[in-house]
């Protein structure tokens, strides 16, 4: 297995090239991408989340049929703080991040980071 990992690092450029590029991927490129997919799937299936001592915020594309509100709120199973889900009426989160809602996400994150920083400052004083 170490040899495979070394080869994957060497072929890093291949992994970053999107499949929709004009250049047709070689058979080796496809094999490498398949190996990475399988490794990622195995890691995802074996992952056991730990308790997170804090608040969690999520951004959710609510028209994505793969996910539901209950799945977003299932983060409360591991968070000791509150879970806040921000819903955006899009089919994919990339449409939220790259679309007109980007500024809204920045505003939300700015407020939440400022709140966290204030909490840290108060705790240290």
Annotate 10-55 with three-state secondary structure.
HCHHHHHCCCCCCCCCCHHHHHHHHHHHHHHHHHHHHCCCCCECCC
Per residue in 76-104, pLDDT (tens digit) is 888 898 888 888 888 888 888 887 888 89
Query: What is the pLDDT, as a whole number, of residue 10?
Result: 41
Query: What is the pLDDT, as a whole number, of residue 22?
Result: 63
How many CB atoms are closer than 10 A to CB 32? 19
How far out from the chain centre does Cα 67 lie?
Answer: 14
Residue 105, SS3 per DSSP: helix
Query: What is the pLDDT, as a whole number, of residue 99?
Result: 76
Query: What is the pLDDT, as a whole number, of residue 60?
Result: 84
Query: What is the pLDDT, as a whole number, of residue 46?
Result: 92
Distance CA 22, CA 38 (A): 25
Query: What is the pLDDT, as a whole number, of residue 21?
Result: 56
Q: How would you write the pLDDT of the chain (125 residues) with one tens digit per residue?
A: 343 443 444 444 444 444 455 677 777 777 888 888 889 889 989 988 899 998 888 888 888 877 777 776 788 888 898 888 888 888 888 888 887 888 899 999 999 999 888 888 777 87
């Amino acid at each position: 297995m170490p040899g495979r990992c070394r080869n994957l690092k060497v072929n890093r450029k291949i992994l970053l090239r999107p499949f929709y590029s004009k250049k047709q991927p070689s058979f080796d490129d496809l094999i490498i991408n398949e190996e990475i997919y399988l490794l990622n799937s195995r890691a995802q299936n074996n992952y056991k989340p730990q308790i997170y001592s804090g608040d969690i915020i999520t951004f959710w594309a609510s028209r994505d049929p793969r996910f539901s509100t209950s799945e977003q709120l299932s983060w409360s199973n591991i968070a000791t703080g509150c879970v806040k889900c921000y819903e955006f009426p899009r089919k994919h989160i990339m449409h939220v991040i790259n679309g007109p809602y980007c500024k809204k996400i920045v505003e939300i994150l700015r407020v939440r980071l400022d709140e966290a920083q204030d909490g840290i400052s108060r705790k240290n004083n």
